[in-house]
Every structure is written in structure tokens, then in C-alpha cells.
């Protein structure tokens, strides 16, 4: 992919972002079940607390917002497209093989008719393979753009899903593909929930921090997110945000389950006020920097 090549060029010019010592790359994902718990707040503060250069991937491609806090100059942009079929009707024998293989009903054949429904296509390429008549030509559907820029020691890569597009995973994969070989620390800011876009983001993370809040809803959705990570068999821990509000159920549940709680962030109106002006938590509350550094240390040693 052209975009990945560009990333390597950038890495070549900015050697501080990569290691030449063959150090192991550390992918740390920040996820949650429930939305609005503070994933981006935590991810940005971790990136700013790191003592090494960071590749920050905003994988919440439906509404990327880390750029508001990191404020990079987004100077690189590339389109992310999928290869989807378009029918060359004069070659089609209406055999129906494409219809049989499509699990998403994105193409159908009946009588002397063939119809495609591009928005349902997952671009698996199966129809191209089974068509005996070469009646399918490749056309493309844009799923969004991948943008990149740097700010201090952080390189931000973000995806922006095209409005109306429903398939986020291909774009998230394109965002992840921007990271060059040799990057040392990659922070992935995941979308909320437990569906495909989250799986794509966390599936190969070396560690996932689940940000939650001490409310019944926070606990309920944390359990779902924990279920995902256990199913994926990936290591994870928890950060409790606004920890002095609500109840102790999240903490008690984590203890009973043997899940490590790395950090508890207190509720503080100043944090919310800073957030509303695009100020990272770690800037509003510099006294919390050591706690974020400690989390990174724990994660990197895990």
C-alpha cells in the first residue's frame, strides 16, 4: 500500500520514532465497553507521559478526536478503498456462482438479471475468483481517508470513515498499516463497544487497558469487554475513571476476577473543563503524570 511506503519514508527522516536496536514493538490498546469513559483522555496522557517516541493510532474512525488534544499538523492524507465487483453484463452467463459465494447478499443473479449492492460488499474477492466468464471487473469504493501528522514526539495516525460508510475495519487496518517496522511504542485508541472495529483494534495488541467508570453501566459493559479479551486470549488490565463517584462494584469485581486495576483517576471538574478546551488531562493535572508513567512501566513490563 502506498500509504505504508510513505510511513517508512517518514520514519527514515525521523529516526527518533523507530528503534534500530531491534527492540520489541509494544502495542498498547486503550479500549472500553461503554463509550465516554475516557479512552482518549487516558490514551493521550499515556502518549504524553511516555519517555520514548510514540505512534498514536486513533482507531475510532467514526469520530476520531485525539487530534483535538494532540494538535498535530495533519499533513499526509491517503484514500482507503475496497475492491468491489462491477458487472460486465455482456460477458455474464448468469450462472449464479457469484451469488452462491457471497455471504453478504451483495450480488444476486436471477433469470437474465444480475444485480450488485455495493454497500453490502465486504470486498472478500470471492466473486472474482469463482466467475467463469470474467464478467466482473474491479471497481472501488472509498471507505475513508488515513491522515497522519506529528506533534512533538508523537506521530498521530487517524482514520476518518466516509460519511455513509458502515464498514470501519478495513480503514482501521489501513491506519495500523502506517506503523513502520521498528516503531517501539504504539498506542491504539479503540472505538467503544465490543463489535468488529474493536476486535480489529485490540486483536494483536500486546496489552489492552480497559477504561471504565464505577457505575452499574460501566461494570456491565466492562464485563462484555473483558469477555472479548478473554476470548481473544490477550492480556489486559483496567483503569477506573471518575473513581470516586459511583460505587465499589467495579473494583470488587476486578479483584474477584483477578484483574489488575492499574490506575484510578479521580473525578475533578478541572479535568472536564480542560477537556472541553482540548487540554490533555496530564496538562490539566500534572500531578497525575507519575501515575501515568507507572501505568506505562507496568504495561511495558507485562
Partner 1 sequence: MKIAVSATGKGISASIDPRFGRAGYFVIVDADSVQVVDVIDNSIAQNAAHGAGINAATMIVEAGVDSVITGKVGPKAYAVLEAAGIKVIPDCSGTVLDAVEQFKSGTARSADGPTENAHPGRPAGQAGGAGGGMCRRRDMGQGGGGRCGGGFGRRK
Q: In whole angstroms, what separates CA 9 from the centre of its chain? A: 23
Residue 124 CB, nearest approach to partner 1 (Å) = 14
DSSP 8-state class, residue 296:
H
CB nearer partner 1, residue 149 or residue 214: 214
Nearest residue (CB) to partner 1, 121 versus 296? 121
Tell me how far, at minimum, the Cβ of 144 lies from partner 1, in Å.
14
Task: Pick between residue 231 and residue 260 the one whose CB is nearest to partner 1.
Answer: 231
Give me the least distance between CB of 13 and partner 1, in Å please.
36
| Exposure class string for 106-137: b at 16+ Cβ within 10 A, else e | bbebeeeebebeeeebebbbbbbebbeeebbe
Q: Nearer Cβ to partner 1, position 194 or 208?
A: 194
**Cβ 201 to partner 1 shortest distance, Å:** 13
Closest CA to 46 of 185, 193, 235, 245: 185
For 275, residues 6+ apart whose C-beta sits below 8 A from its C-beta are: 41, 281, 284
Q: Which is nearer to partner 1, 43 or 167 (CB)?
A: 167
Q: How many Cβ atoms sit within 10 Å of the Cβ of residue 74? A: 17
Chain residues in the site for partner 1 (CB under 8 A): 34-36, 62, 99, 104-106, 108-111, 113, 115, 117, 120, 166-167, 191-199, 221, 224, 228
Least CB distance to partner 1 at residue 264 (A): 21
Calpha distance 156→161 (Å, rounded) = 16
Cα angle 54-55-60, degrees, rounded to a multiple of 5: 130
Amino acid at each position: 500500500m502506498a500509504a505504508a511506503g510513505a510511513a517508512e519514508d517518514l520514519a527514515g527522516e525521523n529516526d527518533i520514532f523507530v528503534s534500530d536496536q531491534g527492540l520489541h514493538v509494544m502495542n498498547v490498546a486503550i479500549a472500553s465497553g461503554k463509550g465516554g469513559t475516557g479512552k482518549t483522555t487516558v490514551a493521550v496522557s499515556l502518549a504524553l507521559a511516555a519517555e520514548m517516541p510514540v505512534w498514536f493510532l486513533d482507531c475510532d474512525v467514526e469520530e476520531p478526536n485525539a487530534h483535538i488534544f494532540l494538535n498535530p499538523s495533519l499533513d499526509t492524507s491517503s484514500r482507503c478503498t475496497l475492491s468491489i465487483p462491477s458487472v460486465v453484463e455482456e460477458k455474464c452467463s448468469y450462472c449464479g456462482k457469484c451469488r452462491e459465494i457471497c455471504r453478504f447478499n451483495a450480488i444476486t443473479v436471477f433469470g437474465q438479471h444480475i444485480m450488485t449492492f455495493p454497500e453490502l460488499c465486504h470486498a472478500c474477492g470471492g466473486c472474482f475468483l469463482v466467475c467463469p466468464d470474467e464478467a466482473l471487473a474491479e471497481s472501488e469504493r472509498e471507505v475513508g481517508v488515513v491522515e497522519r501528522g506529528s506533534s512533538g514526539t508523537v506521530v498521530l495516525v487517524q482514520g476518518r470513515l466516509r460519511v455513509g460508510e458502515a464498514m470501519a475495519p478495513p480503514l482501521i487496518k489501513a491506519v495500523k498499516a502506517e506503523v513502520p517496522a521498528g516503531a517501539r511504542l504504539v498506542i491504539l485508541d479503540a472505538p467503544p463497544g465490543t463489535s468488529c472495529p474493536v476486535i480489529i483494534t485490540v486483536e494483536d495488541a500486546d496489552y489492552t487497558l480497559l477504561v471504565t467508570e464505577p457505575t452499574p453501566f460501566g461494570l456491565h459493559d466492562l464485563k462484555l469487554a473483558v469477555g472479548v479479551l478473554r476470548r481473544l486470549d490477550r492480556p489486559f488490565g483496567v483503569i477506573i475513571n471518575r473513581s470516586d463517584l459511583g460505587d465499589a462494584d467495579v473494583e470488587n469485581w476486578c479483584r474477584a476476577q483477578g484483574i489488575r486495576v492499574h490506575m484510578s483517576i479521580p473525578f475533578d471538574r478541572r479535568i472536564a473543563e480542560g477537556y472541553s478546551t482540548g487540554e490533555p488531562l496530564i496538562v490539566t493535572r500534572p500531578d497525575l503524570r507519575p501515575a501515568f508513567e507507572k501505568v506505562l512501566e507496568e504495561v511495558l513490563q507485562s
